[in-house]
Amino acid sequence: MFESSSSNERVPLSEEKQGSVYVQEQTAVDTARGLFYIESYGCQMNFNDSEIVASVLSEVGYQSTQNLYDADLILINTCSIREKAEDTVRKRLQLFKKLKRKKRGMLVGVLGCMAERLKSKFLEDEKLVDLVVGPDAYRDLPRLIERADDGEKGMNVFLSREETYADISPLRLDQNGVTSFISIMRGCDNMCSFCVVPYTRGRERSRDPFTILAEAQDLFANGYREATLLGQNVDSYSWENPETGETVNFAQLLRLVAGVHPDLRVRFSTSHPKDITNEVLETIASHANICKYIHLPVQSGSSRILDMMNRTYDADWYRERIEAIWRIIPDCAISADIITGFCTETEEDHQATLDMIRFAKYSASYMFAYSERPGTLAARKYEDDVPEEIKKRRLSEIIEVQSQSSLQHNQNEIGRTCEVLIECDSKRDDREFKGRNSQNKITIFPKAGSVGPGDYVNVKITHATSATLRGVIVAPSH
């Protein structure tokens, strides 16, 4: 993300959903402006941005389609976090270029972080697309499309200090109708040396809390039962009322959203270790519907490497924040982002990261080898000097230690009963439901009674792997 999206790793908030497509069911309305198809890559912020784009396009008569080959307008919302993500996008653009040759009038556009980072390269040097639109320019899409229709190239990668899209109601493109995202802020002021996000998404700015609250209320009224508040660093959320001068911080915003309804679960991502306060932790502890799960990226267990990464905390500070979470929210699950093989990393630094995983007892981690990103401080200042084979070996060791931690974390749930929000049928067996508990753990259980997606049930856990809990319904929750 999410900080996740501001690092060299995959984003939870998690879950980089590369290659997946979110689209809205086509309805029988006037499609004179044509059909659009959108793919999203990277962090959850990108998927939420795609819903803003869909809303902008729907206002001018476009309808979405699930079928790539029916589309008159193809958009790909991109991620620049890792080289692999950019390579995936380039391969898709080559496919789209072939489709354009077969369908006259089709337009292709690149949105998001790669659009901002590579700008005119896509338009002029590689001639892959007709539109290049940065994260702060989605309102300008209708004008840019008209320019492209007239044979001109449409590009707007202007980074704004004010844009939050607060007045745009996202067109929900997800398909479970139970969980969704609310963007509460944009940009990032944390200049981590490995990170491209401040350059591709601009400076940090927070959204009006009243519009956030209204969006949460609208979600609940439309049947959604979980909202995840998104930001590169949600803990630094701060909005000042221009009329009174009063400010709203993240803890206060959490309380506002949690107050929408007891049946609306609230999650958030991503937190930064330097900013997560005891006030936030106490707010989580005091509200049953704020999930007991915190994604707290560590990146490295070595204070020396953290300093080179410009993370503005050391290993001792991070451990203190972990201990504060345990003290204030004893049942809280914690996950992390981890980069291995950063510039100059030694075996001692690597062992410090393994020790941190064991100390923090993460329920999950998003783990990647360092990938140098052009334009970052690390690319300008440090040599990417850890050989690839060593990066791979260290990553394998990190994954192994984390897998052991995840398995132990989940096995501790066996015999316990937890509240699970049903999200959908299990992918492997439509006789079973899939949902998550407050700790963000995927839980699979046989269908029983008249409950379905959007309902809460109490599930007794009977089995566990490192990735999944299994159990049986013992009673509806409420």
User: Does 316 lie in the same domain as 266?
Assistant: yes
Say how many residues make up the chain. 478
Token pair belonging to 169:
């109601």
Has residue 172 been placed in a domain? no
Crossing angle (nearest 10°) for helices 250-258 and 278-286:
10
Has residue 162 been placed in a domain? no
pLDDT tens figures, 167-218: 998 988 876 899 999 999 999 999 999 998 888 888 899 999 999 999 999 9
Q: What is the pLDDT of residue 402?
A: 98
Crossing angle (nearest 10°) for helices 209-221 and 250-258:
30
Nearest in space to 202 (alpha carbons), one of 157, 238, 168, 169: 157
Residue with tokens 């393994």: 354
SS (H, E, C) the chain: CCHHHHCCCCCCCCCCCCCCCCCCCCCCCCCCCCEEEEEECCCHHHHHHHHHHHHHHHHCCCEECCCHHHCCEEEEEECCCCHHHHHHHHHHHHHHHHHHHHCCCCEEEEEEHHHHHHCHHHHHHCCCCCEEECCCCHHHHHHHHHHHHCCCCEEECCCCCCCCCCCCCCCCCCCCCCEEEEECEECCCCCCCCCCHHHHHCCCEECCHHHHHHHHHHHHHCCCCEEEEECCCHHHCEEECCCCCCEEEHHHHHHHHHCCCCCCEEEEECCCCCCCCHHHHHHHHHCCCECCEEECCCECCCHHHHHHCCCCCCHHHHHHHHHHHHHHCCCCEEEEEEEECCCCCCHHHHHHHHHHHHHHCCCEEEEEECCCCCCCHHHHHCCCCCCHHHHHHHHHHHHHHHHHHHHHHHHCCCCCEEEEEEEEECCCCCCEEEEEECCCCEEEEECCCCCCCCCEEEEEEEEECCCCEEEEEEEECC
pLDDT band at 477; cut points 50, 70, 90: low
User: Does 187 lie in the same domain as 145?
Assistant: no
Q: What is the pLDDT of residue 153?
A: 82
Domain boundary pick from 357, 389, 411 = 411
pLDDT band at 266; cut points 50, 70, 90: very high
pLDDT tens figures, 16-64: 333 333 333 333 334 446 899 999 888 888 889 999 999 999 999 999 8
Nearest in space to 395 (alpha carbons), one of 5, 8, 6, 2: 8
Q: Are 139 and 56 in contact (CB under 8 A)?
A: yes
pLDDT tens figures, 379-433: 999 999 999 999 999 999 999 999 999 999 999 999 999 999 999 999 999 999 9
Domain boundary pick from 362, 392, 411 = 411
User: Does 141 lie in the same domain as 10?
Assistant: yes
User: Does 251 lie in the same domain as 200?
Assistant: yes
Indicate the pairing of strand 179-183 with strand 226-230: parallel
Has residue 384 been placed in a domain? yes
Q: Which residues, other chains included, contact 259 with Cβ-Cβ below 8 Å and sequence gap of 6+?
A: none
Domain that residue 371 falls in:
179-411
Residues of the chain with pLDDT > 90, as a percent, come to: 73
User: Does 144 lie in the same domain as 209?
Assistant: no
User: Does 401 lie in the same domain as 439?
Assistant: no
Has residue 170 been placed in a domain? no
Token pair belonging to 136:
């702060």
User: Does 188 lie in the same domain as 135?
Assistant: no
User: Does 231 lie in the same domain as 108?
Assistant: no
User: Does 205 lie in the same domain as 135?
Assistant: no
Has residue 142 been placed in a domain? yes
Cα of 428 vs its chain's centroid, Å = 25
**Cα(126)–Cα(323) distance, integer angstroms:** 51
Bigger pLDDT: 216 vs 80: 216
Residues of the chain with pLDDT > 70, as a percent, come to: 91
Total domains, the chain: 3
pLDDT exceeds 90 at position 340: yes
CATH number assigned to the domain comprising residue 105: 3.40.50.12160
CATH number assigned to the domain comprising residue 445: 2.40.50.140
Has residue 163 been placed in a domain? no
Token pair belonging to 173:
């493109």
Nearest in space to 3 (alpha carbons), one of 218, 419, 309, 420: 309
User: Does 462 lie in the same domain as 376?
Assistant: no
Q: Are 458 and 443 in contact (CB under 8 A)?
A: no
Has residue 173 been placed in a domain? no
Crossing angle (nearest 10°) for helices 44-59 and 141-149:
70
CATH number assigned to the domain comprising residue 229: 3.80.30.20
pLDDT tens figures, 242-264: 999 999 999 999 999 999 999 99
User: Does 114 lie in the same domain as 29?
Assistant: yes
User: Does 284 lie in the same domain as 378?
Assistant: yes
Has residue 171 been placed in a domain? no
Domain boundary pick from 124, 156, 188 = 156
